[in-house]
Amino acid sequence: MRATRWLRGIAAAILALAAGGAAAQPAGDDVVLAGTLKALRQRGSVLVGYREASVPFSYLSSLREPIGYSIELCKTLVADLGDAVDRELRIDWVPVTAANRVEAVASGRVDLECGSTTNNAERRERVAFSPTIFVAGTRLMVKTGSGIRNWRDLAGKRVAVTAGTTNEQAMRELSQRFDLRLQFVVSADHDQSLAKLMAGEADAFATDDVLLYGLIAQRRLKGQVEVVGDFLSYDPIGVMYRRGDPAMARVVNDSFRRMAQDGEIERQYRRWFLRKLPLGVSIGLPMSAELETIIKATATRSSE
Span 129-170, pLDDT tens digits: 999 999 999 999 999 999 999 999 999 999 999 999 999 999
Q: How far is CA 144 from the centre of its chain?
A: 26
Q: Where are the domains of the chain?
A: 2-135+236-300, 138-228
d(CA 108, CA 131): 21
Superfamily of domain 138-228: Periplasmic binding protein-like II (3.40.190.10)
Which superfamily does CATH assign the domain made up of 2-135+236-300 to? Periplasmic binding protein-like II (3.40.190.10)
| Amino acid letter, 251 | V
pLDDT average, residue stretch 92-117? 97
Backbone φ and ψ of 55, nearest 5°: -70, 135
pTM of the model: 0.78
Q: In this structure, are residues 221 and 151 in contact, taking their beta carbons and an 8 Å threshold? A: no
In Å, what is the CA distance from 192 to each residue of 57, 112, 163? 18, 25, 11
In the chain the first and final C-alpha atoms are separated, in Å, by 43
| pLDDT of 56 strictly over 80 | yes
pLDDT of 14: 47
β-strand partners of 242? 127
Residue 103 scores a pLDDT above 60: yes
Q: Which strands sit side by side in the sheet containing 183-187, from one edge to the other?
A: 183-187, 158-162, 204-208, 138-143, 225-228
> What's 91-160 look like in SS3?
EEEEECCCCCHHHHHHHCCCCEEEEEEECCHHHHCCEEECCCCEEECEEEEEECCCCCCCHHHHCCCEEE
The pLDDT of residue 27: 37
Same fold, 2-135+236-300 and 138-228: yes
